[in-house]
Amino acid sequence: MRFLSTLALLAIATDRVVALETTELFHFSTSVAIENTALRPDGSLLLSTFDQGRLYTLNPSVPNAEAELVAALPGATALCGIAAIDTNKFAIIGGVRGNYSYTNETIYTVDFGTNPTNPTIEVVSRIPDAIMLNGLAALPAYPHVVMAGDARLGAVFRVDTDTGIAEIAFKDPLLTAPSNASTPIGVNGLKMAGGYMYFTNTAREIFARVPIDGFGRKTGEIEVIAALNNAELYNWDDFVVLEDLNVAYLAQPDNAVAQVSLDGVQNIIVGGGDDHTTLAGVFEIGRVDDLSA
């Protein structure tokens, strides 16, 4: 979860880290809180926002790129996690935003398969038991099934976008925020890689993973990979896992990107002020090879 009106992309080379530069792709003329992104097959980006449930698309490969409105999803004032569930089809979390809670928590699908400019939008599931859904990731073996982290409930919901059935897959204390947390956001970003569900917990200031089976069932205990250095200045948000390189790159609001090995070694590689390049804000990180997929 991160709020900013400037979209900046940090592309991480998949074979090595090179040319650690940031490029501003687009700047909204008014304050728009961009929450999450997903890559479409043509290399354009989908942007979920807290802008009255509006979903935007942006093609970063064209000069002077402009964000174009895809749709305002019905019944939502804010959109959160996005996950690809098929070719050019995405699941998106939306709801009515409150104070560290949401009502009308909903999973939508947005399908560009038949019309790349006018997608089919469906409400596939409403989850009344959810409090604050945030990160979203599809199961690799069954991509129509998505896992949605609830940052207040300390739970992960499993949602079948074909049937609409939603249920709690598992709960764990390490998915919750401590009772005395000043920012009561537990599980935040979610990613699937190599038989694990990776996640950040904002309030607990950790990056962790839990083994799951093909159906999203927890098969072992949560392993904390790293605890945040200098937590008074930063927290961890969304991220990308490069399992083949044994590393993850984590958005570290308000102005940095951290490199964390899957053995727990962490470094700020871009931003952070002082001797680093300053970033206006960071919320999401993508892979270079994804941009040409």
In the numeric block, which tokens belong to residue 85? 């569930």
How confident is the model at residue 284, as a pLDDT?
53
Domain 34-239 has CATH 1.20.1250.30: no
Taking residue 291's Cβ as centre, other Cβ atoms within 10 Å add up to 15
191-226 pLDDT, tens digit per residue, is: 999 999 999 999 999 999 999 999 999 999 999 999
68-80 pLDDT, tens digit per residue, is: 999 999 999 999 9
How confident is the model at residue 275, as a pLDDT?
45
Provide the 8-state DSSP code for 178: P
Q: How far apart are the first and last CA of the chain?
A: 25
pTM for the full model? 0.88
Dmax (CA) for the chain in angstroms is 52
Half-sphere exposure of residue 238, counting CA atoms within 13 Å on the CB side? 23
Residue 123 to residue 110: CA distance in whole angstroms:
9
Residue 240 to residue 247: CA distance in whole angstroms:
9
Please state the domain extents for the chain.
34-239
* Average pLDDT value for the chain: 88
How confident is the model at residue 231, as a pLDDT?
63
Give the 3-state secondary structure of residue 101: coil
How confident is the model at residue 252, as a pLDDT?
82
Residues of the chain with pLDDT under 70: 1-21, 231-233, 254, 272-293
How confident is the model at residue 3, as a pLDDT?
41
How confident is the model at residue 268, as a pLDDT?
86
Give the 3-state secondary structure of residue 244: helix
Backbone torsions φ then ψ of 152, nearest 5 degrees: -100, -35
How confident is the model at residue 285, as a pLDDT?
55
Is the Cβ–Cβ distance between 11 and 291 less than 8 Å?
yes
In the numeric block, which tokens belong to residue 223? 């392993």
How confident is the model at residue 18, as a pLDDT?
44
